[in-house]
Chains A and B, each alone.
Chain A
Amino acid sequence: AQTVTQSQPEMSVQEAETVTLSCTYDTSENNYYLFWYKQPPSRQMILVIRQEAYKQQNATENRFSVNFQKAAKSFSLKISDSQLGDTAMYFCAFITTSGTYKYIFGTGTRLKVLA
């Protein structure tokens, strides 16, 4: 079975500091894509960053970057210079290119940025 595990239900970080959210996944597929989504209190789901599994280079989007370890099936999100607006629930997800193109989501990590 394909699964995504986020082992940190809640985290907090001081404003301007760096925080890393963990995510591990399990799949037997070779072709897949990994994502981090942010869900602020408005509950809108916002795509933060995307990683293609066949690319070794880690994706970056401004203050957000990932550490993608394919052999270990690990996909952590690093937020640098944390801002109050980063307070949200963060979901890790992946999708394979075979079959139904279904997203498998983790259970989420609630991040609170402290002033």
Chain B
Amino acid sequence: EAQVTQNPRYLITVTGKKLTVTCSQNMNHEYMSWYRQDPGLGLRQIYYSMNVEVTDKGDVPEGYKVSRKEKRNFPLILESPSPNQTSLYFCASSQTGGTYGYTFGSGTRLTVV
């Protein structure tokens, strides 16, 4: 089954404790992206990657890191999480840069206390 697999689904952590949210796709997509969803704000792009070893900032990159060492994986790293990073996170991928729509992961609900 073609899918984007995101883990974990739920995560509660403490301020300052480094964490990684994993994202993997099995569709050989070149384009991958991370979004955060907050009430009243919709989805906002954190980082994106047009291909392996090519990543760039989205609208809200502060406090986040990503890497794209292989095509299928695009992990999101929070080096020192803070409470304002409490949010619902989505990984998404697309073959064509999104013009035919994204395939989204199932989301990660992150709470930073």
Contacts and interface: CB of A to CB of B under 8 A. Distances in A.
| B is a partner of A | yes
Interface of A: 4, 33, 35, 42-45, 47, 50, 91, 93, 95, 97, 100-103, 105-108
A95 B97 CA distance: 9
A73 B98 CA distance: 20
Contact of B43 (A33, A101, A103): A103
Contact of B104 (A33, A44, A101): A44
B81 interface: no
A70 B97 CA distance: 22
B90 A101 contact: no
B43 A91 contact: yes
B98 A95 contact: yes
Contact of B56 (A4, A100, A103): A100
Nearest to B100: A50
Contacts of B73: none
21 contacts: A43-B88, A44-B104, A44-B107, A45-B90, A45-B102, A45-B104, A50-B100, A91-B42, A93-B43, A95-B97, A95-B99, A97-B97, A97-B99, A101-B31, A101-B97, A101-B99, A103-B33, A103-B98, A105-B35, A106-B42, A107-B42
A42 B43 CA distance: 16
Contacts of B92: 45
Contact of A105 (B31, B43, B56, B97): B43
Given A101-B97, A101-B98, A103-B98, A43 B44 contact: no
Contacts of A95: 97-99
Contacts of B51: none
A43 B99 contact: no
B48 interface: yes
B42 A47 contact: no
B60 to A, nearest CB: 12
